[in-house]
Structure 1
Amino acid sequence: MKTIKFWFLTATSLIILGVMLFCFSACSTDWNFRKLFGQEYDTKTHEITQEFNSFDIDTDTANILFTPSNDGKCTVECFEKEKVNHSVSVQDGKLTIRTIDERKWYDHIQFFDFAKDKITVYLPQIKYADLCIQTGTGDVEILENFSFEDIDIKGSTGDLRIENITANYVSLTRSTGDIHAKNITAKSLALSVSTGNIFAESITLETTLTAKTSTGDARLTNLTCNAFSFDGSTGKVELKNVVATQSFNINNKTGNVTFESCDAGEISVTTSTGDITGSLLSEKIFIVDSGTGRIDVPKTITGGKCELTASTGNIIIQIQP
């Protein structure tokens, strides 16, 4: 009994001592937890005076934001942690940004990090050539009315959001994270994510839209293109007001495929486990096959071919009046 009491009092004393030390340390830093846990951040501003027309950005952990400049100058603002800096320069007509990580292995041992590296690019004009961004862990946001020739954005972990963009060819790739694309006019658009969702809205394309997911949903709204192809493993596919002059080609292994007011010259949809349902805008010649599900499609004999196959799932389609 005495032994239990001794250890109880010892544990209580250590807890009280730990709380006192924490409070003392927090007070000594004015309750600044970045200082308390060793995370010092600084903001560095780089003014770009050389001319450029393209972007080459490769970062490790920073969020990236493109926004218009209010003073007609191009500046790059880097909010960065101690020993993790960013080089900003113009090379061969490209605004080039790189991460310079000078941390030792022990600098990576941290309990908390209450902030996130961020790079804000302030641009004086709206029209540029190529945009190439490669990120490790970080979000990318381009929300203003910018115009590019080609866009290629890749990343491992983080969300990607681009809006109000005009371009020729656009390729957006994420390993883990969501892709949001809205109000985009381009020749073609390619969207790919391994673990995450795809949201595309108000898209106008001259040629093709290709989308690919491994684990995640795809939701497309108000979109026109020449041809649309989708390849998915696990997740739902929802199309609303999506029209392709030539074709839909959708292959979704596990998940429902839903149409609302959609149409294409020819349609091909294949699912292993999931329903194929919804409404189309024009008559089709239906070729359907469902292993164990219910089939209910119009008995129309004109229009393009509509081939629907579901191994385990219902196929229910109607023609919108």
Structure 2
Amino acid sequence: MRSTKKMLILGCVLIALGVGLFAGAIGLNDWKIEGLDGEVYNMNKFEINEGFESVVINTDTADIAIMPSENGNCIVECRDLTKITHTAEVKNGVLEIRVVDERKWYEKLISFASPGIKVYLPDAEYKGLKIDEATGDVDIEGGLTFKDINIDLSTGDVKMDTTFADNVNIDVTTGDVWLKELFCNNKLCINVTTGDTELSNVKCLELESDGSTGEIEMNHVIAYNNMFLKRTTGDIDLKQCDADTLSIQSTTGSVHGTLLSEKIFDADATTGSVHVPNTKNGGVCKIRTTTGSIWFSYVND
């Protein structure tokens, strides 16, 4: 017993020592995790002179930023490491940006590396944007137009501001999604396993958002046909939103909102109160929650 007790005490001391050394290292590094592994970053710049209609980005770990070019030239800037680099080239009308990871398997076990990719696109209408990566944030800025946008992300946040598209599909396992000033001519689809979703000033033909754990908040969002929202755990909040028909489901969480036009409400909460307008005009607004309250009104009320 004494021997076991001594080993437990020694283990606790070693853990505390490791935590202290780690905290000290972060403090000496201006409280940044990046750079603790001694990696040196290299800035690689690609000037794309060939024409292209679509953009494909396939990487493992990198923060991705896509923005309009100020001078009309297409530039790709990569914040690379010695053994993690990226290529950028045009193939068959597609700008392809891909990772080249030369690390051994054991070098990937513990890494604080934080590569980055910045893409400056000329003002044009592009057929597609496809992003597929494991870990990193995706930020799409100001005034770009795509026919189709597809983002598949394992861990990281997605931000999109003032973007025009026909179809948008976002699939995130763990992370938050922020969409602002998004104009989608057809369908907007957002799937988030764990994370919050926030939409502001968004217009689309159809909206579908499915999620397991996390809240969804929408401000001034209009789906001209159908709106489908589903959460397993998390509140759903709509402010000054509208659609021809709405279907909202929540297992654990409240559903609150204000709508711009009258609806025929079909609302039920297994455990929780229900307060909805008793109007008989407009499309159907079907709301179901197991545990949580339902409260809806109209903007002019």
Q: Shorter-chain TM-score category?
A: 0.7 to 0.9
Q: Secondary structure at the match of 1:52?
A: coil
Structure 1, unaligned stretches of length 5 or more? Answer: 1-10, 27-32, 264-280
Q: How far does residue 291 in structure 1 lie from its aligned partner after superposition?
A: 4.2
Q: Secondary structure at the match of 1:249?
A: strand
Gap change, CA 1:209 and 1:41, over 3 Å in 2: same
Superposition misfits of 4+ residues, deviation over 6 angstroms: 33-36
Q: How far does residue 198 in structure 1 lie from its aligned partner after superposition?
A: 0.7
Which residue in the other structure is 2:108 paired with? 108
What's the CA shift string for 1:59-82, capped at 9, x where partnerless? Answer: 000111112223332111110111
Gap change, CA 1:199 and 1:285, over 3 Å in 2: closer
Q: Contact (CA 8 Å) 1:181, 1:201: kept in 2 or not?
A: yes
Structure 2, unaligned stretches of length 5 or more? Answer: 1-12
Q: How far does residue 315 in structure 1 lie from its aligned partner after superposition?
A: 4.3
Which residue in the other structure is 1:212 paired with? 210
AA aligned opposite 1:131: L
What's the CA shift string for 1:185-230, capped at 9, x where partnerless? Answer: 112211111011111110111x200001111110111011121001
Which residue in the other structure is 1:84 paired with? 84
Which residue in the other structure is 1:236 paired with? 235
Gap change, CA 1:38 and 1:95, over 3 Å in 2: same
CA RMSD of aligned residues (A): 2.8
What's the CA shift string for 1:3-38, capped at 9, x where partnerless? Answer: xxxxxxxx9xxx9xxx9xx99xx9xxxxxx977733
Gap change, CA 1:50 and 1:259, over 3 Å in 2: same
AA aligned opposite 1:86: H
Which residue in the other structure is 1:66 paired with? 66
Q: How far does residue 128 in structure 1 lie from its aligned partner after superposition?
A: 1.5
Q: Contact (CA 8 Å) 2:255, 2:294: kept in 1 or not?
A: no
Q: Measure, in 1, the Cα distance between the counterparts of 2:42 and 2:221.
A: 43
Q: Contact (CA 8 Å) 2:190, 2:210: kept in 1 or not?
A: yes
Which residue in the other structure is 1:276 paired with? none
AA aligned opposite 1:143: E
Gap change, CA 1:105 and 1:124, over 3 Å in 2: same
Amino-acid identity (%) = 35
Q: How far does residue 310 in structure 1 lie from its aligned partner after superposition?
A: 4.4
Gap change, CA 1:255 and 1:52, over 3 Å in 2: same
What's the CA shift string for 1:90-137, capped at 9, x where partnerless? Answer: 011000011111111343355x73x51001111222421111111110
TM-score by length of 2: 0.81
Q: Contact (CA 8 Å) 2:219, 2:241: kept in 1 or not?
A: yes
Which residue in the other structure is 2:41 paired with? 41
In structure 2, which of residues 138, 148, 155 is the aligned counterpart of residue 140 of structure 1? 138
Quick check: which has more Rg, 1 or 2? 1
What's the CA shift string for 1:264-289, capped at 9, x where partnerless? Answer: xxxxxxxxxxxxxxxxx43x555554
Equivalences, count: 273
Which residue in the other structure is 2:220 paired with? 222
Q: Measure, in 2, the Cα distance between the counterparts of 1:137 and 1:43.
A: 20
Which residue in the other structure is 2:193 paired with? 194
AA aligned opposite 1:184: L
Q: Secondary structure at the match of 1:107?
A: helix
Gap change, CA 1:104 and 1:255, over 3 Å in 2: same
AA aligned opposite 2:46: H
Q: Measure, in 1, the Cα distance between the counterparts of 2:203 and 2:34.
A: 45
Which residue in the other structure is 1:182 paired with? 180
Q: Secondary structure at the match of 2:125?
A: coil
Q: Measure, in 1, the Cα distance between the counterparts of 2:266 and 2:82.
A: 62
Q: Contact (CA 8 Å) 1:167, 1:186: kept in 2 or not?
A: yes
